[in-house]
Structure 1
Amino acid sequence: MPKTKSLKTVTLPDKLPKILSFLNQKGGAGKSTGAVHTVDWFAQRGYSAILVDADGQQSSSSWLEELELPCKVINDPEALFDELPKLADSYDVVVVDGPGNASEVTKAVLIRSNLVLIPCRDSMIDLASTGKIVQFVRQAKEIRGGMPIAALYLNAVKENTILLREAKEALQSGILPLLSTALPDRQCIKDAPGQGSTVFRMRGSSPKAAAGFYTQLLIEALKLFESES
């Protein structure tokens, strides 16, 4: 079991999800960016973490190669079902970058995940697109007796806008919790894949601020998992 570790004033919960997945049926929601930053976030705190790229585009796996972090491409649902528990036995945390569609791969990931994070942009089209993945999560919870723990979060948002307020109101009325931390729209986050980096490794005040938002988001998600699992 991983030990409690801290960075400055941040202390991780004692109970961590062995398999943490980023899912959304809509491409461009921020799954890959969230998954890669999460793997690097854990790795920089001394945990053994691996990313499983279950997305057919395989954008996160090439990114991980540049970061020199462990990654495995598995986009067959039967292989995912079999391999994810084995990887969980070998690593402290397995992070899954799910496909940009609602498919059998998504269902296989849900059956094996402990914690699922669903990124969503603050547009009406993106908000409407969450319906299918939320349905998949609800069905998995019924089958597995409450697992996986799942939550939505707003990604790449423009701060202090009417649209953001309306998006929060819309998502808060759903069956899954909405994390209070929203990731802001920052150029440094968009630049990270092209630079083969993450905001945790980039210099400057903007990456540092973005890194703070990621840390806040992940700590909130991990505390939710600890309290509900």
Structure 2
Amino acid sequence: MKNKAKVIVVANTKGGSGKSTLATNIAGYFASCNHSVVLADADPQQSSRMWLSNRPDTVSPIMTWDLQPDLALTARASADTTHLVIDTPAGLSGWRLREVINRADKVVVPILPSLFDIQASNDFLIKLKQLCRELKTDMALVGNRIDARTHSAERLRSFLDTLDLPILSYLRDTQYYLHLAAHGLSMFDITPTKIQKDLDQWQPICQWLHAN
């Protein structure tokens, strides 16, 4: 059963794939559109909650829950919440994965271009694709920390093309994500002068998130 709030799940069984970076920027995007946003951190590392703790009062507010990570996977948003973004832990599988996908409207999977990340993600992506189709949940992929000039970037493109899944964008490897994260900010919280290329890369992601 889907929530009234739109639920976006960011998932990858592989740790260090950029789930928190993607989740915080998705939450930042929805907040910049004046939506009522909750960012639920179900990862024991609590990177998203640390990001929120550094978020200044001068930008669009994003709420969270004071819950243990495992409870954040299943907690329900309040009636006034329009968008719930869930940052999931590495190794998510079994009934927990099924439960969180069942409540999701959309699932976004970030993947790094290293050979190890590609190999580690393959079985998960096949299972997740089957699960999303069974539960009628939209799923899409995002290439993360991509240097288009490298062989690894081309290897990732070739791999993703075999999966028969939407590939929303390839986000470049830039220090702006790290610099903004240290201050609790997303790409959508600052003037676009220096990050227009990055915002352009985010446009297809934002369009997909808004689509029914």
TM-score range (shorter-chain normalised) is 0.7 to 0.9
Match of 1:36 in 2: 24
Match of 1:94 in 2: 84
Letter in 2 for 1:75: P
Q: Choose the corresponding residue for 1:170, options 159, 168, 171.
A: 159
Question: How far did residue 99 of structure 1 move?
Answer: 0.5
Tell me how far apart the structure 1 counterparts of residues 78 and 13 of structure 2 sit (CA, whole Å).
24
Structure 1: gaps of 5 or more residues: 1-15
TM-score, normalization: structure 2? 0.83
Letter in 1 for 2:112: R
Describe the shift of the 1:48–1:17 C-alpha distance in structure 2 as closer, same or farther (beyond 3 A): closer
1:106-125 matches, within 5 Å, as 106-125=97-116
TM-score, normalization: structure 1? 0.78
Describe the shift of the 1:17–1:218 C-alpha distance in structure 2 as closer, same or farther (beyond 3 A): farther
- The answer to whether the Cα contact below 8 Å between 1:188 and 1:206 also exists between their aligned partners in 2 is no
Question: How far did residue 205 of structure 1 move?
Answer: 3.5
Question: How far did residue 126 of structure 1 move?
Answer: 1.0
Letter in 2 for 1:170: F
Tell me how far apart the structure 2 counterparts of residues 47 and 74 of structure 1 sit (CA, whole Å).
25
- The answer to whether the Cα contact below 8 Å between 2:40 and 2:73 also exists between their aligned partners in 1 is no
1:1-229 matches, within 5 Å, as 18-67=6-55, 68-72=61-65, 73-76=67-70, 80-81=73-74, 83=75, 86-87=76-77, 89-103=79-93, 104-141=95-132, 143-144=134-135, 147-179=136-168, 181-203=169-191, 205-223=193-211, 226=212
Letter in 2 for 1:174: L
Tell me how far apart the structure 1 counterparts of residues 63 and 134 of structure 2 sit (CA, whole Å).
31
Query: How much identity, in percent, do the aligned residues show?
Result: 25
Equivalent residues, number:
202
Tell me how far apart the structure 1 counterparts of residues 30 and 49 of structure 2 sit (CA, whole Å).
17
- The answer to whether the Cα contact below 8 Å between 1:74 and 1:80 also exists between their aligned partners in 2 is no
Describe the shift of the 1:65–1:24 C-alpha distance in structure 2 as closer, same or farther (beyond 3 A): same
Question: How far did residue 64 of structure 1 move?
Answer: 1.4
- The answer to whether the Cα contact below 8 Å between 2:43 and 2:87 also exists between their aligned partners in 1 is yes
Moved more, 161-170 or 30-39: 161-170
Letter in 1 for 2:171: L
Tell me how far apart the structure 1 counterparts of residues 79 and 124 of structure 2 sit (CA, whole Å).
27
Describe the shift of the 1:74–1:116 C-alpha distance in structure 2 as closer, same or farther (beyond 3 A): farther
- The answer to whether the Cα contact below 8 Å between 1:49 and 1:70 also exists between their aligned partners in 2 is yes
Describe the shift of the 1:142–1:43 C-alpha distance in structure 2 as closer, same or farther (beyond 3 A): closer
Which structure is higher in helix share?
A: 1
Question: How far did residue 92 of structure 1 move?
Answer: 1.1
C-alpha distance after superposition, 1:168-195 (max 9, x if no partner) = 111111143322x211111111222222
Tell me how far apart the structure 2 counterparts of residues 203 and 143 of structure 1 sit (CA, whole Å).
41
Tell me how large the CA RMSD over aligned residues is. Answer: 2.4
Structure 2: gaps of 5 or more residues: 56-60
Query: Greater relative contact order: 1 or 2 (C-alpha under 8 angstroms, separation 6 or more)?
Result: 2
